[in-house]
Amino acid sequence: MSQFIINAEKDKIKTVETHTILDRIVAQKKERIIARMEHRSLNELVKLAESSPKPRADFEAALQSTPLSLIAEIKKASPSKGVICENFNPVTQARAYAKGGAQAISVLTEQDFFLGSDRYLTDVRDSVSLPILRKDFTIDAGQIYEARILGASAVLLIAAILPDEALKEFIDIAHSLGLSVLFEVHTMQELMRALDLNVRIIGINNRDLHTFHVDLATTERLAPMIPAGKTIVSESGIFTATDISRCYRSGVRAVLVGESLMRHAETENAVESAISNLFNDIPGRAGR
């Protein structure tokens, strides 16, 4: 049984300090997990996950299948930008991503700050064959079992919100369920923790989750410090072909792009064209 289970005493949650956006997101996530635990225990989630179909696509292998792979994100809103896509249709967007040449899809399921939903993930799962990353703020073991139940191929673990002991346990749980882990870092200290834990996929978030300030130089600074054999993903702040080229030159193997593609959601052709334009300067990807 996991020792990293949210304490179900609601008064414990009320004492959480909320100095930053990240603090508020995590505090609200705890509230939602407590509410879920009143209806479905961890043991129930474990049994459901173990009886669920295995992930049908390999997230890690997909990221290694091209010179620079695309994780295309389905995101309705964000704390910094508000609603990004008024005509939000996750299924239409996912199909456009698949047709446009994405290697994987990220689906935001965080409800309160990103207006995500588990339903978006299951709808996408039923409409495309690409591996799916469940993009959420994972702070409880039950969320990893939920990801398997929903049909995800990978989960996000954020170094900034979890101690090493929890990260190690969550990685072990994910791998036991056949799920890949995208381990997200933003600082050199967090990168060193990732390397100590021997994670295989390292996501460099160009956004500081405490301030939501974005700087692509974060990838350029950290990526060269990662040894060979790791799959490096650059996340956030990627809007142009120049941004993509900067990531590629830094040694990145995949990019996670959300907002710039969601703003082209009006037609399938617009999404395809946006993807093609982003990767126009990447050998082996131009013209896709």
Question: Of 78, 180, 234, 236, which residue is the catalytic one?
Answer: 236
Question: Of 110, 146, 184, 220, which residue is the catalytic one?
Answer: 184
Torsion of CA 177, 93, 204, 70, to 10 degrees: 90
Q: How many residues does the chain have?
A: 288
Question: Of 29, 106, 235, 260, which residue is the catalytic one?
Answer: 235
Is 205 among the catalytic positions?
yes
Exposure string over 260-275, b if 16+ CB within 10 A, otherwise e: bbbebbeebeebbebb
User: What gap in Å lies between CA 266 and CA 283, rounded to an integer?
Assistant: 28
Is 73 among the catalytic positions?
yes
User: What gap in Å lies between CA 231 and CA 255, rounded to an integer?
Assistant: 11
Is 236 among the catalytic positions?
yes
Is 75 among the catalytic positions?
yes
Question: Of 29, 30, 135, 230, which residue is the catalytic one?
Answer: 135
Question: Of 29, 30, 75, 230, which residue is the catalytic one?
Answer: 75
Question: Of 69, 78, 106, 205, which residue is the catalytic one?
Answer: 205
User: What gap in Å lies between CA 87 and CA 74, rounded to an integer?
Assistant: 12
Task: Say how many C-beta atoms besides its own lie within 10 A of residue 205's C-beta.
Answer: 25
Backbone phi and psi for residue 188, each to the nearest 5 degrees, phi listed first: -60, -40
User: What gap in Å lies between CA 77 and CA 235, rounded to an integer?
Assistant: 16
Question: Of 73, 110, 190, 220, which residue is the catalytic one?
Answer: 73
Long-range contacts of residues 159-164, Cβ cutoff 8 Å, at least 24 apart: 159/183, 159/184, 159/185, 159/186, 159/190, 159/193, 159/194, 160/22, 160/184, 160/186, 160/190, 160/209, 160/210, 161/22, 161/26, 161/137, 162/138, 164/193, 164/196, 164/197
Bridge-based pairing state of the strands 77-78 and 82-83: antiparallel
- Active-site positions read 73, 75, 135, 184, 205, 235-236
